[in-house]
Amino acid sequence: MPKKELETANRPDNTAFTQQRLPAWQPILSAGIVIPGFVLIGLAFIGIGVALFLTSRNITVLEMDYTGVETTSDCYKCSAGTLPNCVCNLYFTLNETFPGTVYFYYGLSNYFQSYRKFGASRDDNQLSGDTYYFTSPLAVCTPYQYDVNNNPIVPCGISANSMFNDTFNLYQLVNGSKTVPLDGRGIAWWSDYNIKFRNPTSDPLRNAFNGTVKPPFWSKPVFELDLTDKSNNGFLNQDFLVWMRRAALPNFRKLYRRITGPDYASGLPPGNYTIEIAYNYPVMSFNGRKKVVLSNVSWMGGKNDFLGVAYLVVGSLCIVMSMVMLIVYAKFKFPDDV
Amino acid sequence: MFIGALFTTAKETRSREHEKDLRILVSNLPYEGLPKTKQPNRYFPGNAVKTTKYSLWFFIPMNLYEQFHRFANLYFVGLAVLNFVPAVEAFQPEVAIVPICVMLALTALKDGWEDCRRFRSDRRINHTSCRVYSRKVSGFVERHWKDVRVGDLVEVASNEIIPADLLLLHTSDLNGVCHIETASLDGETNLKRRLVVPGLNTQDSSFEPQNFHCTVAVEKPNDNLNQFKGYIETSDMKRLGFGIDSLLPRGCTVRNTDLATGFVVYTGHETKSMMNKNGPQYKRSKLECKMNIDVLFCVILLFSMCLIGALGHYVWLESLPSVPLFLTPGSHGHMDSNPLSGLYMFFTMIILLQIFIPISLYVSIEMVKMGQIFFITNDVDLYEEKTDSRVQCRALNIPEDLGNIHYVFSDKTGTLTENKMVFRRCSVTGTEYSHNENGKSGKLPSRTGWTLEDDQEPEAVQQSQEGQQPHSGGGHHRNKETGNAQGKAAFSSPLETEVVPDRKLLQRVLAGGGDWDGCGGIRRCEATDLYLDFFLALTVCNTVVVSTATTARAQRQRVPSLFQSPGEVLQTALQKMFVFSRLCHTLSSWQPMTEDLDTDHNSGCHHSAAGDQTSHRHQSTSEIDISAQRCYVAESPDEAALVHAAKVYGFMLIARTPNSVKVRLPHGVELNYQVLDTLNFDPHRKRMSVVLRHPISGEIVMYTKGADYTVMDKLIWACLNTAQKNVAASTQRHLNWYAKEGLHTLCFAKKVLSESAYKNWSLLRQEALAAIDNREELLMETAVNLEKQLTLLGATGIEDRLQECVPDTVMALREAGVRLWVLTGDKAETAINIAHASRLLDQEDLVIHMNTDDKAVCKSILDRSLEEGRRHTRPGYPGLSIGLVIDGHTLDMALQSDLVDRFLELARLCRSVLCCRVTPLQKSTVVKVVRERLKVMTLAVGDGANDVNMIQAADVGIGISGQEGMQAVMASDFSISCFKHMKKLLLVHGHWCNSRLSNMAIYFFYKNVTYVNLLFWYQFFCGFSGTSMIDIWLLIFFNLFFTSTPPIMFGVMDRDVSAETLLGLPELYRTGHESEGYSHFTFWIAMLDAFYQSLVCFFIPYLTYQGTDIDIYTFGSSMNTVSLFNILLHLAIEIKSWTLVHWVTMLGSVALYFTVTLVYSATCISCNPPSDPYWTTQQQMSEPIFYLVCVITTVVALLPRFTYRVLSNTLAPTPLIRARHLERLDPAIREQWIKEWRGFRGGPQGGRSYQKQTQEQEPSRITPTLSITNNHLGTPTRSAVRHHHNVEL
């Protein structure tokens, strides 16, 4: 049955929305309008660029390769990887004070933590202290899931297995050698240390790891990573945490220590230094390089001239554009450009 | 029919061949109660219908099966499956299937909802009750529709819907007539007459279904609504043939007939109505076709990128001296060989970069089109108050094609003209009566005159007769879905019925009438006074049915709720009817009397109004004079016009039954003629005749009416005396003149038959009627036999007026660069006349006429015209614009393969082309040829059944829901209620939809490529290992939520130029033809830009964070944020007008992004290994450098596009940009600009010079005045305007 309807039941609503008459801002991009914008952006960018550039200039960075590819290098002897427990020294001299809190990084080149299977090959359940996964790690950890005797590996997977295991000691060569204390606390992310990673609740810690084996590449089990500090063991070991946060790019550095010792809180004084390196980590298999980086930081992080230069260039470009626009505007003016 | 034949083997032995195509049916009644296996008709399907696509249990598999027919879905599912192969997986497999699942689920949800609606409607229909005869109770019992079977006897009452295709056996009407309304079938809301099977004696006695023992033979089910044949074999072996006249099709409504009983012949899906139900049309828009090519390009790009990835991985592996610690050996403990790893990596890359092919593009485009169609249908400017109808979009996926039309093919009658007929002139016995006053009543200016194409074109007539006419009872409202064709419009126009008599003619008629008192007088006058014959012919020689109040009663329930009580309803309905208050003649019955005129293709009728509307307007009691309520129901508007015209001269049609027609003569005498036979109109004869027996004299007279040439040829030239020859000659002269005036001409003639001649003929006629094979041919032959040696009575001229704003619309389309072709069945003269009036042709245009029967001549005309045409359209030459008028015959020749190229070449030079006397088939051929050969977008617009072919052949079909039924509307993609709506539909909505959708599609490609490329660049820094540095959930969300709404909203709502400007400057429409829309060029530009932007978005963060201890997901999240800003601000550059909606979606997207990422990275501790988003965003947002990276990256990425836009807008602004500048002017000044330009352009010179200018592709094309301003460097606008204004003054 046909519905009863009003004579104009079909009449569309005469509203601004249905009639597409909503009030609208209709900018037309034209030379005249954009001149102030270009000038403003240009000036702002130049300002930021100068600030960034100056900041970056004030950051001191000292990078030293210790892979030992050159025969002159002290670490050359270790680079072949044939000597067990090879120790080499890296000497350097500071002519002026290295100001501020100095951060001690190790750097790796051509190292692909970003390799897809590298990231996948870990068991977050283990790492959050779930002991169930101690006995049966996830299959993604293969081939570092079980050892040849079918014992579960904890922590499993490549990520953990490939942990960087060079260690460094810094000495200032003044009247013999004076140890520069390196502070390894708080170098990992707060969230990783406090939330994401958890040790199993057992005392002593090693009991939780009964029946498991250490990753094949490791020399020490995870609960004995730091013999000096009991709390810096297990999955909450700072170096482990730092390693487990995957680097985005193949050339990366990772924080090793901060130099906060009483004599060095405001920087490293000028003088001769040596870094004693326990050279364990093989990098020649992938044409990699290892280096030590000493750097202080600012509000913009580490030293990076790129951003400052980029801002300066783009800022100047904007200023140039505004000039061009001014000419264009003068020549091709539109009636409504007032 | 094999199965049918089984039951009849016992009885039937003869003429089997024939019956192969027949179904033999018998009544179910003798078998009632028997098990199913004993039922004779058990093999026929039941009456239940099922239109659902899916069943409940198999919905999911069937829907998935359906969806996987779409290639894109298959592709993405394939990728998802691929992801489960460990060797090549890129993401966690479970997560990777989320997007495709969401897509499939959304589509399934939509399909399921639609199917559910279909199911519910099916159930409702199947459970409707009807009355089926049952032997047990010896009466009709209520049954559900679904339980009706072939062979049942079903009774339907007035206003009930017919449950199955019924063969009419009995009606409550004495004449065996049943009226039905076929609105649900073909949209026609007029009443059609159906007859009890002729010869079946069921009417005289009370019909007993139990006694119906005949065998019914019918043809196999088919979808032809106008064809049905078969015969009944009675128990005494007599065969009674029947046709469509005896079929009550399912879904139609019985009207005006109290009861009708029928034999079920077809049920369920075999019924005519179900066989005519076809699914929604699916057309693919041109833009989508282009887009699909670009998708292919994307696939190629994707594959090359994957190849790079695979090769890169191989090379990288090769470069490693030995296996480093960070490489994973496979589970088997050793590494795969490097080439194999490379191969695996290829597939991994495909998975990783899969959204390079925009998965969401198709879904988004569908959503955008829905939004666009919402706005089109909601446009109040496209709403027609009179008929309460808005524009309907029947095809949901081609709105953007409206913005890209090159050629418009238009019907004339009902499309350009109103198809409302006004009697204008007549010529009786060689004397012309000009009806001057009548002419004046056509008050509307600039209207010369219009004709109805009825007689000229076979199918045009068929269509106009099938055509629907509105009911005269104003209360009769159509269903929404069938389109409100006309409503009360027919009655609001007084012109249709108000005929002012010509004084001279009236005097002549009345003078003659003085002798007519008494029968003898009439007799004498008939012999002498051709005037009487002329008007009698006008009155009776038609199929007009006199409808009385019954119609109103039947329609009462459909009166709008505006009218409260039934009494009021009736009253209003009556008031709206035209009332003869003077007439006191009382009809014995309320039934409308009808005449046996319906034939196969002749089933429509025209309700039109008669009498004086005002006389009863204020009567409070409606019951009085109810017998005098009378309206004329005619098949075509011109028939009604003629009857009304005759009425003014005192000849009034009072009643019509199948066998008689009652006429009231000027002085009150009523004569009841016996109708001996009616020779219906058919397209070949192009005339109709009525054979009458005079009630008093008993003389047999035939009145014939038809197109001039078909009647004039049949005159008895041989025995004409000089005077008669003069009469014929002057009548022909008048006819020619009428045609020139644009009037629709009809010629009237009579013939007196001797009793014996009629008898002889009548026998032949009966034979023809009884024939089953080639019945039509035989009938026509008999008709032609009778219609010769006629005596000319006179001729009439009827006007069909141009629709409102047609010239304006035509002008606008012309300026918009659209070529307009008019395809009409009319004569060339009429067509040219209309072309001039509607400004298709200008007076000084060069018009090429092509009308020849000889192919060689045709060829030479084409060659000469081409030469001429080229000369006139040569650049720089101030040529004339050319119009081409071509005749149907000539067109046939011109479209032959050896001439078609020349013809099209010529047509391309012409601004407008008129094709006259073309058949519907030719109409569609022309459209197809132009569309395929010239590779242009075509649009066909028409209102009648003869336009259906053309509408379907064109890229876009527009139906006008006018007076000629709904077939055109049903076949169309868009339906509008009048031609003038074309202007806004094309110029505004077409332009908007086109530019919106092309911009959106381009943007979608850009967006996906920009984003995916980030992943690709990262492969260079992860050993081409397929690592994604962005968390997979954020990756999915980015496309699904963060950046999907703004472009969709952009596609639905962006407005580059306002509607006013688009209407004011139709030239802007041309931009859709050119590169402004979607083109491969813009696609590649967008691709290049996307590559550039992705490089910037990747490498600025890379260079910033290079060498630091940044971790992978922090790095990725910074890029994600940068991309978000980049992608959204890119859109911001593209958005032309910012409304509140734009702001909300843009800012909302940013807000959503930050909310979701912050929440996600605060809660996902290790929810989604190996990705590790925990606390990354928080960490990052605490570092100032992150913001600095965001700012500079966005600026650098967008700077080129921004600068390009700014410079191109300023240095070489497109017409659209100029128009936008124009909009910013002060309204008064802007009006002036547009008006001046329009005036300038409206002139012949201006129009032409503009035309030229565009052909030369000048850069500044929008308005010459605007380019003048541009040359005045720095001149303030206002002075420029003034300057220009002065020039104009």
Question: Nearest by CB to B1210, which of A1, A128, A328?
Answer: A328
Taking contacts as CB-CB distances below 8 angstroms, the residues of chain B near A325 are 1206
> Is the omega angle on the peptide bond into residue A155 within 30 degrees of 0, that is, cis?
yes
Q: Does the pLDDT value for residue A258 go beyond 90?
A: yes
Cα–Cα distance, B1266 to B1250 (Å, whole number):
13
**pLDDT given for residue B586 in this prediction:** 31
Comparing B190 with B81, which gets the higher pLDDT? B81
Residue B699: phi and psi, rounded to 5, are -70, 145
Of B388, B559, B1138, the CB nearest to A9: B388
For B1280, the closest of A115, A161, A335 (CB atoms) is A335
Which pLDDT does position B1262 carry in this prediction? 34
pLDDT digits (tens, 9 = 90+) for B189-240: 566 778 888 777 666 666 777 778 888 888 888 877 777 888 888 877 888 8
Kindly report the nearest CA distance between residue A177 and chain B, in angstroms: 30
B251 near B185, Cβ under 8 Å? yes
> Which residues between 573 and 592 in chain B have a beta carbon less than 8 angstroms from any beta carbon of chain A?
none
**Which of residues 1095 through 1124 in chain B touch A, CB cutoff 8 A?**
1100, 1102-1112, 1114-1116
Is the CB of B1100 less than 8 angstroms away from the CB of A282?
Answer: no
Chain A CB contacts of B481 below 8 Å: none
List the catalytic residues of B.
Answer: 411
- Residue B1232, min C-alpha distance to chain A (Å): 15
- Is the CB of residue A50 less than 8 Å away from at least one CB of chain B? no
pLDDT for residue B437: 63
Task: Find out whether B799 and B449 touch, Cβ atoms under 8 Å.
Answer: yes
Top pLDDT among B680 and B1074 is at B680
Retrieve residue B242's tokens: 């029947």
Q: Which of A14, A20, A196 sits opposite B1165 (nearest CB)?
A: A196
Question: So where are chain A's domains?
Answer: 65-297, 305-338
Interface contact flag, B390 A12, Cβ < 8 Å: yes
**pLDDT value, residue B579:** 33
Q: How far is CA B852 from CA B733, B868, B1000, in A?
A: 22, 19, 51
Highest mean pLDDT pick, A108-117, B384-393, B559-568, B742-751:
A108-117
Q: In the structure encoding, which two tokens stand for residue B1114, read together?
A: 């922090």
Report how far residue B239's alpha carbon sits from residue B216's, in angstroms, rounded to the nearest whole number.
Answer: 10
Of B504, B388, B492, B529, nearest in space to B437 by CA = B504
Q: What is the ipTM of this complex?
A: 0.95
β-partners of residue B260 are B156, B171
**In degrees rounded to 5, what are phi and psi of residue B685?**
-75, -35
Q: Answer whether 0.80 is exceeded by the pTM.
A: no
Residue B623 assigned to a binding site: no
Q: Give the mean model confidence (pLDDT) for residues A259-278.
A: 90
Residue of A nearest to B555 (CA): A2
Please list, in sequence order, all residues whose beta carbon lies within 8 angstroms of the beta carbon of residue B655, skipping any fewer than 6 positions away: B546, B587, B593, B661, B662
String of DSSP letters for B1114-1141: HHHHHHHHHHHHHHHHHHHHH-S-B-HH
For an interface test with A, which of B124, B317, B328, B476 has the most A Cβ atoms less than 10 Å from its Cβ? B328
Asked if A121 lies within 8 A of B328 by C-beta distance, the reply is yes
Per CB-CB distance under 8 Å, the chain B contacts of A10 are 383, 388-390, 480, 484
| Whether residue A132 has pLDDT greater than 50 | yes
d(CA B1115, CA B1123): 12
Where is average pLDDT lowest: A272-276, B159-163, B926-930?
A: B159-163
pLDDT digits (tens, 9 = 90+) for B953-1004: 899 999 888 666 667 787 788 989 889 999 999 999 999 999 999 999 999 9
Residue range B807-828, pLDDT digits in tens: 899 989 988 888 899 988 777 7
Q: Quote the CA–CA distance of B1062 and B1064 in Å, as a whole number.
A: 5
Average pLDDT over residues B1125-1144: 94
| Partner residue facing B1105 (CB), from A20, A52, A248 | A248
From the number of C-beta atoms within 10 Å of its C-beta (0-12, 13-18, 19+), residue B855 rates as: middle
Average of pLDDT values for B343-367?
A: 85
pLDDT of residue B797: 85
Whether pLDDT at B792 is above 50? yes
Query: Is there a contact between B561 and A251 if contact means CB atoms under 8 Å apart?
Result: no
Strand order in the sheet with B652-657: B431-433, B417-428, B791-802, B744-753, B700-706, B687-693, B670-679, B660-664, B652-657
Chain B: residue whose CA lies nearest to A247: B1111
Is a pLDDT exceeding 70 seen at residue B381? yes
B251 in contact with A, Cβ within 8 Å: no
Q: Is A148 on the interface with B (CB under 8 A)?
A: no
Neighbours of B482 (CB within 10 A): 20
How high is the pLDDT of residue B1255? 36
- Closest approach of chain B CAs to the CA of A54, in angstroms? 14
CB interface of B with A, residues 65-104, below 8 Å: 90
Tokens found for residue B838: 């509607």
| Residue pair B168/B262 in contact by the 8 Å Cβ criterion | yes
* CB of A162 less than 8 A from some CB of B: yes
pLDDT digits (tens, 9 = 90+) for B1198-1236: 999 999 999 988 888 888 888 888 888 777 787 777 776
How far, in Å, are B68, B71, B76, B99, B1024 from residue B96 at the CA level? 18, 19, 10, 7, 19
How would you list the strands of the sheet with A102-109, edge to edge? A61-65, A289-295, A102-109, A252-259
Query: What average pLDDT score do residues B258-271 get?
Result: 87
* Closest B-chain CA to A164: B325
* pLDDT given at position B258: 81
User: How many angstroms separate the CA of residue A317 from the nearest CA in chain B?
Assistant: 10
Number of inter-chain CB pairs under 8 A, A vs B? 300
Among residues 212-251 of chain A, which lie with CB inside 8 Å of chain B?
217, 245-251
Question: Minimal Cα–Cα distance from B1209 to chain A, Å?
Answer: 6
Contact between chains at A287 and B320 (C-beta distance less than 8 A): yes
Q: How confident is the model at residue A94 (pLDDT cuts 50, 70, 90)?
A: very high
- Preceding omega of A143 cis (within 30 degrees of 0): yes
Res. B557: pLDDT tops 50: no
> Which chain B residue lies closest to A310 (C-alpha atoms)?
B1192
Q: In the predicted model, what is the mean pLDDT of chain B?
A: 76
**Distance (Å) from the alpha carbon of B768 to chain A's nearest alpha carbon:** 41
Which of A3, A28, A311 is facing B1192, going by the closest CB pair? A311
Contact B496, B641 (CB under 8 A): yes
C-alpha–C-alpha distance, residues A167 and A85, integer Å: 11
The three-class DSSP label of residue B620 is coil
To the question of whether residue B551 is assigned a binding role by annotation, the answer is: no
* More confidently predicted of B207 and B1277: B207
